[in-house]
């Protein structure tokens, strides 16, 4: 009787586990769809600002305006490498979580946070140079308005991403995610790659084009 009860309990547990996995996969697909729609809406937001920038830029004969040299290409390139590098470290963080290597996961995630913060500090430094040395302000010219608006909007997304990744660090330390269930980490990685992709367009527009 005891053996039969044990077998029944084991089968019930296995059935419950299978139902739980099925429910998680269903919920995960809905969450992924919702998160994808959120990223698409963000793409539309940035696209609207970018098209506005291109329109305004075409209304000016000299770009940047006289007296403003614009952002430094070399510094912008170096700061971009920092941000793109953080995308690679976030990829490795998620990959190590999938393989159950938590030590390397925290190491790569910590490096991602460090590089993201470094990028923001670089952006603040660049703003300081433009403001004090070139007297470029948000209200002073179309260049200042478009540059600070678009790069500032992107910087805000990086800042939000750093908060999000910090919350993921806290959640993983409390056992919120497992090797099989880690949608929050997937969403965080997708968001961070989105931030990288947006910066590719902004870097081209303001530093190269």
Going residue by residue through the chain (209 aa), what tens digit of pLDDT does each one get?
A: 444 444 434 444 444 444 466 656 667 888 889 999 999 999 999 999 999 999 999 988 888 888 889 999 999 999 999 999 999 999 999 999 999 999 999 999 999 999 999 999 999 999 999 999 998 998 888 999 999 999 999 999 999 999 999 999 999 999 999 888 899 999 999 999 999 999 999 999 999 98
- The span from the CA of 144 to the CA of 124, in Å, is 14
Instruction: Report the number of secondary-structure helices (H) and strands (E) in the chain.
Output: 5, 0
Please indicate, yes or no, if residue 18 is contained in any of the structural domains: no
- State the Cα–Cα distance between residues 46 and 49, nearest whole angstrom: 5
* pLDDT score of 65: 85
Residue 12 lies in a domain: no
* 113 neighbors 162 (Cβ within 8 angstroms): yes
29 in any annotated domain: no
**Quick one: three-class SS letters along 107-165?**
HHHHHHHHHHHHHHHHHHHHHHHHHHCCCCCCCCCHHHHHHHHHHHHHHHHHHHHHHHH
Domain membership flag for residue 121: yes
Those residues with Cβ within 8 angstroms of residue 56's Cβ, 6 or more apart along the chain or in another chain: 142, 146
Residue 2 lies in a domain: no
Helix (H, G, I), strand (E, B) or coil at 53: helix
Domain containing 64 equals 39-208
Q: Which residues contact 31 (CB under 8 A, 6 or more apart)?
A: 183, 187
- Tell whether 24 is covered by a domain: no
Rounded to whole angstroms, the Cα distance separating 74 from 80 reads 10
Query: Is 21 inside any structural domain?
Result: no
Check which CATH number belongs to the domain holding 108 and give it: 1.20.120.80
Give the global pTM.
0.87
What is the rounded distance in angstroms from the CA atom of residue 93 to the CA atom of residue 110? 9
Q: Is residue 25 part of a domain?
A: no
Distances (CA, A) of 20 to 7, 15, 32: 20, 9, 18
Residue 185 to residues 76, 136, 159, 167, 208, Cα–Cα distance (Å): 29, 39, 17, 10, 34
**183 touches 28 (CB < 8 A):** yes
**148 Cβ partners below 8 Å, 6+ apart?**
127, 137, 138
Q: Give the number of domains in the chain.
A: 1
Structure tokens at 138: 């948000």
């Amino acid at each position: 009787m005891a053996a039969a009860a044990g077998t029944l309990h084991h089968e019930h547990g296995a059935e419950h586990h299978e139902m739980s996995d099925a429910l998680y996969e269903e919920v995960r697909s809905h969450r992924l769809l919702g998160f994808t729609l959120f990223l698409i809406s963000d793409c539309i937001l940035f696209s609207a600002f970018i098209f506005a920038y291109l329109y305004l830029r075409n209304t000016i004969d000299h770009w940047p305006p006289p007296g403003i040299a614009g952002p430094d290409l070399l510094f912008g390139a170096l700061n971009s490498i920092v941000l793109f590098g953080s995308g690679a470290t976030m990829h490795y963080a998620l990959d190590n979580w999938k393989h159950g290597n938590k030590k390397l996961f925290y190491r790569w995630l910590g490096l991602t946070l460090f590089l993201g913060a470094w990028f923001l500090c670089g952006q603040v430094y660049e703003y300081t140079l433009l403001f004090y040395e070139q007297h470029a302000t948000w209200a002073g010219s179309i260049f200042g308005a478009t540059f600070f608006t678009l790069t500032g909007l992107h910087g805000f997304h990086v800042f939000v991403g750093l908060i999000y990744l910090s919350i993921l660090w806290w959640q993983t330390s409390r056992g919120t995610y497992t090797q099989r269930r880690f949608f929050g980490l997937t969403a965080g990685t997708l968001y961070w790659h989105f931030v990288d992709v947006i910066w590719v367009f902004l870097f081209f527009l303001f530093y190269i084009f």
